[in-house]
Structure 1
C-alpha cells in the first residue's frame, strides 16, 4: 500500500533526518575529544610520579650519606696492623675517676729541714761534711775556734771550783755546829754559799748546752764542734776552711728527704673540691713516676698576684725519687663511677667535630661515630655507638686516622 505524502510532510521528514545526522556527528566528535584528553592527563600524571620517585631516591641517598659520613672502610691487613704498631683493645666496663688536675712542685719537708748556724762567732778549723753527703744525727759537720766558747767554758770551770770549795766549807761548818763549837749562823752562811755555787754551775752548764757544746774537758776550751741535728742529707753548704763565721750565719742546710712536700696552686673556683683529707695521685712531668697521698693543708688566703691558694701533700720518699724542685701534676679524685662501656682515652678522635672510634672489622677498620660521657686520664665512657666486646684501635690509632684522611683525599680527586 502506498502512502502519499504531501509536500509539507516530506519537508518535515527531511528536516528531522538532517537534524539527527548533525546531532550524531556532534556526539561522536565530543566522545573522541574527551578520550584524547584523558589519555593526555594520564601521561602527564605518570611523568610527574616518575619525577617525584627520582627525587625521593636522591634524597634517600643524600640522607644515607649524611647519616653515615664515616663508615668508609679503612682496609688494612693483620700484617699491616702489626707492622704499624696498632694495638687492639676491647670495649668494656671501667671505673671512671672524676676530679681535676692541678700543677704542683716538690719541695723540702720544712718540718724535717734544718738551717744550721754556728751560734758562736769563730774561725773555721775543719769541714768534714761535704755537699750531698748523707749524715747521721750527732755527726760532726764543721769545727770552729771560738773565744766566746772559751769564756763560757772558763766560767763553768770557775763555778765548779767555787762550788767544790763551798761544799768543803759547808761540811766543816756543819760538823763544828753539830759539835757545838761554832755558831749556827756560820753554818747557815756556808750553806747559802754552797747553794749559790751550785746554781752558778748549773747556769754555766745550761749555757753550753744551748750552744750545743760540751764542757770541753777533753780538748781545748775554744774548740766548737757543729753537729748534725738529725739524719739527713747535706743539701747546702756555705762554709770553707779558715773562714770567719758569725753566730747567725747559715752554714749548712740539712734535710731529711725520706718525706717531701708537694705544694699545689689552687684557683678560687677549685677550692670547694680541694679539701683536707682528699686523696690525690701525684705524677712527675719529667719521667714516669706516680705516688699517692692525701691533702694535709689548704691555705685560707689567696695570693695577691697569683690569686691562688696553696695546698700541701706530704709524700713518702724512701727511694729519693721525688727531688725538691721537680714539677708534678696532682690529680685530685672527687668521685669514682662505674660505667658500662668505655674505651682508652687516646682511642677517641675528632673528625668533622664528631667523636670517632675505629672499630675492627674483617679486613680493616670502620670509623664509628660515638657519643662520649665522663672521662679521666685513662678511660672515656661511651654512651652511644659502641657495645661491650667491640674491638677497636687503641695505641697508635692515629695511624688509622691518617689512612682515612688519605682515602678521603683520593676519593675527592
Structure 2
C-alpha cells in the first residue's frame, strides 16, 4: 500500500512539472508582439518605438488580426489630388513640382489611387544619402532616422542625365531668392578680344646720339658734369686737345690762303682749280672729323688754330651716359657722351606667340601705367619687329608716345591693351560657363522652373563673354550667379541616383559602409 502511495506522488509531481513547462512555452510563444504605424500600416517592427516615416508612435498589432492594409487615402496633407505635397510637412501644398520650402524635400504628386501594397521601399539617410537600406531604422553613421526613397526619384528630379555626372534639378522661386540665383539671355553681340602684353619704355632711337670724336686726343674741360643732366641744342658739352686736329686745321688754313692768293693774282684757271681742290680736300677732312661748318668758318675768319675744340649738344635732351673725365685720353671713335631726346618715347610690347597673328600695324592700343594712378595713353602700333624670342616665345611690337613733361622714362614698366574686333557672335556671359578642362557646361533655366545642364562647344573667350558654337540657342536663359551651388546640387543628385540604380541595398542589416567604424 505504501509503495502505491509513493508511486502516485512521483507521478503527480512529474505531471505538475510538465504542466508548468508547457505553460511557460505557451507564454514564450505568445510573447513575440509586432508593432506597426497607424499612418503607414505597411511599416511593421518587432520593437516598440517611432515610425521612421512620420515619427508617430508604433502601436501593437492584435494577435490573429489580418495584416493591416495601407490607408486608402493620401498621407496627412492638405493637398488635393493633382497637387504636390511634402511627406514631412503636411501644410505644404503646391500646384507646381519642386522642393519643399521648409525642409527642401522633393514634393510628391498626390493621386487618387493609393500606393500599391507590398511595393518595394528603400531607405536612405538624409545626411549620408549614399547609405541605402531595404529596411527602416537608424543611419549607422550619424544615427538619424532613415527616410523612404520615392520610386524613380532617388537623388534627382526624375530626369535622365543630359550630361554625364549631372542631372536636371528644380529650384523654387523662394530658394532662388535665398541663394541669389541670376540668369542671362543667350544672344548675339558685337564683341572684341582684348590682348594684353607687358611693355617697357625706351628712348626713341631716332632721337638718340653718341658723342665720339673721330680723332685721338685728350679731354681738356667738361661743361656737362653728370649723367641725367638736361642739355639744350648747341649747349657746350666738353673741350678736347688733339695734335691731329690742330695739324688738320693748319693744313686747311694753308690751303685756303693758297687758293685766295692764286685767285687774286689772275693765275691760270688750271692753277686756280688745283688750289680750290686742295682747299676743299682739307675742308672735307675737318668735316669728316665732325667739325661743324660754323667752327670751320670761325677758323677761316680768325686765321689761326686754337689748341682746343669745343663739342656741343646736337639737339635738346638728357645725358644718358658720360664717360668723359677731364684729362682722359681717348682714341678715335671712343664714346664720351650719350644724349637722348625724351620728349617722345617708344614703348616695346611683348605679345605671346599665340596672339601674334591677331596683331597688325596701325591697330589702336591703350598704354596703361598702374603706378601713375592708372594713367592711360592712347596710341597705335607703329612697327612689328620681324622676329620671335626663342626663349619667351614672344613677338614685340612698338608704340610711340609723346612725353612733353618727361613723365615717362626709359625702362619704366607698362601694360599694353589691344582690342581686336571679332564680329557678331552668339555669346553667353563668362560667369555662365563651368570650365572643367575637358568640357564646358552651362545650366539652362527652362520654362517649367527646372535647371538643365548642357554641354557646350565654345570658341574664343573675351573678358566678359564666351563664344558659343553649339549647345545653346539664341534666346535661352542660363544661370550666371549661384552657379557653384546649382552644379553641386546637380552632381549630388546624379550621384545618389547612380547609387540607387547600381549599388545593392544594404539588405536591412544597417551595416555601416566600408571605411566607417562606430
Scaled by the length of structure 1, the TM-score of the pair is 0.58
Moved more, 300-309 or 52-61: 52-61
Does 2:289 match 1:156? no
Q: 1:329 aligns with which of 412, 415, 418?
A: 415
- Per-residue CA deviations over 1:187-231 (Å, capped at 9, x if unaligned) read 53xx32222222222232333233224133558523211111222
Cα distance between partner residues in 1 of 2:354 and 2:414:
21
The aligned counterpart of 1:205 is 283
Larger Rg over CA atoms: 1
- Secondary structure of the structure 2 residue equivalent to 1:254: strand
Does structure 2 retain, via aligned residues, the 8 Å contact 1:128–1:141? Answer: yes
Does 2:209 match 1:114? yes
Cα distance between partner residues in 1 of 2:376 and 2:254:
61
The aligned counterpart of 1:269 is 354
Q: 1:116 Cα deviation (Å)?
A: 1.5
Moved more, 157-166 or 213-222: 213-222
Q: 1:355 Cα deviation (Å)?
A: 9.7
Q: 1:314 Cα deviation (Å)?
A: 2.4
Q: 1:334 Cα deviation (Å)?
A: 1.7
Q: 1:148 Cα deviation (Å)?
A: 1.7
Structural RMSD (CA): 5.2
The answer for unaligned runs of 5 or more in structure 2 is: 1-65, 73-112, 123-148, 160-165, 443-452, 485-518
Change (3 A) 1:195 1:60: closer
- Secondary structure of the structure 2 residue equivalent to 1:226: strand
The aligned counterpart of 2:326 is 241
Alignment of 1:288-327 (within 5 A): 288-327=374-413
Alignment of 1:10-409 (within 5 A): 46-47=116-117, 54-55=150-151, 96-129=191-224, 130-170=226-266, 188=268, 191-210=269-288, 211-213=290-292, 214-215=295-296, 216=299, 217=301, 221-284=306-369, 286-287=371-372, 288-335=374-421, 376-377=462-463, 379-380=464-465
More RCO (CA 8 Å, sep 6+): 1
- Secondary structure of the structure 2 residue equivalent to 1:335: strand
- Per-residue CA deviations over 1:96-144 (Å, capped at 9, x if unaligned) read 4314223332222211111111222222222222321222222211111
Scaled by the length of structure 2, the TM-score of the pair is 0.48
Change (3 A) 1:104 1:44: closer
Q: 1:145 Cα deviation (Å)?
A: 1.5
Cα distance between partner residues in 2 of 1:273 and 1:254:
36
Cα distance between partner residues in 1 of 2:251 and 2:345:
43
The answer for unaligned runs of 5 or more in structure 1 is: 1-35, 77-89, 171-186, 357-368, 394-400, 402-413
- Secondary structure of the structure 1 residue equivalent to 2:233: coil
